Structure 1
Amino acid sequence: MKKLIAYCGLDCEKCDAYIATQNNDQALREKTAKYWSELNGVEITPEMINCDGCRMDGRKTPYCDCMCQIKICAQSKKIETCSSCPQVKNCKTVGMVTINNDEARKNLGI
């Protein structure tokens, strides 16, 4: 599987945090921080918008680094992505992403 596919099946190359980091785009960091703050009801600052990819070494947003339950689960099972998990089709954790994202489902093969 492509290294820039996250544990949940999302494509990191299409993520605004990844794009802002790779292009050192401060305006996109600010826009993403504002949007994510509103979406999640927490303060997210532009300084938090740095990511080299969910499964890659390097920078991560605070959520993706240590709070993402999908990542925590996949790492505890020592699997590359949720596609390797026998429970993926009925998993409520990854289902929070896949229920509304056809691309993530396709990337995970579900």
Structure 2
Amino acid sequence: MKDMIGYCGLDCEKCDAYLATVNNDQALREKTAKLWAELNNAPILPEHINCEGCRVNGAKTVFCEHMCEIRKCALKKGVSTCGDCPELETCPTIGEILENNPSALENLK
């Protein structure tokens, strides 16, 4: 499995925060911050949009580093991704991601 697949199976390389970071794209940072602030009803600013992937060393968004319950669980269990967890198919923590993103489940297999 490639390093840029998140603990949840989403592909970090397709995430706007990752793309804005690796390409130093301020316009994409601003667009992403505005969208995420609206979606989450939270004060998300362009300077918050810096992430190099949740499973690699480097910058992470505040959500990815401190608030993502999936990442917290995987780190606590010591698994590389949720695909290594025997509870994957029944886990309520990752359930919504897998339900709405069939490619995430494929990435974990």
TM-score, normalization: structure 1? 0.97
Residue number in structure 1 paired with 2:37: 37
Residue number in structure 1 paired with 2:28: 28
* Alpha-carbon distance between aligned partners in 2 of 1:16 and 1:77, rounded to the nearest angstrom: 28
* Alpha-carbon distance between aligned partners in 1 of 2:41 and 2:91, rounded to the nearest angstrom: 25
2:87 aligned with 1:87: yes
Residue number in structure 2 paired with 1:9: 9
Which 5+ residue runs of structure 2 have no aligned equivalent? none
Stretch of structure 1 that moved more, 55-64 or 96-105 = 96-105
CA root-mean-square deviation: 0.6
Residue number in structure 2 paired with 1:58: 58
2:107 aligned with 1:107: yes
* Alpha-carbon distance between aligned partners in 2 of 1:99 and 1:34, rounded to the nearest angstrom: 26
- Give 1:96 deviation, angstroms: 2.1
3-state SS of 1:60 partner: coil
Could you report, residue by residue, the CA deviation over 1:33-78 in whole angstroms, capped at 9, with x for unpaired residues? Answer: 0000111111100000000111010000000011100000000000
* Alpha-carbon distance between aligned partners in 2 of 1:108 and 1:87, rounded to the nearest angstrom: 13
3-state SS of 1:5 partner: coil
- Give 1:102 deviation, angstroms: 1.1
Could you report, residue by residue, the CA deviation over 1:10-38 in whole angstroms, capped at 9, with x for unpaired residues? Answer: 00000000000000000000000000011
Which amino acid in 2 is paired with 1:85? C
- Give 1:103 deviation, angstroms: 0.9
3-state SS of 1:53 partner: coil
Which 5+ residue runs of structure 1 have no aligned equivalent? none
Residue number in structure 1 paired with 2:71: 71
* Alpha-carbon distance between aligned partners in 2 of 1:108 and 1:4, rounded to the nearest angstrom: 12
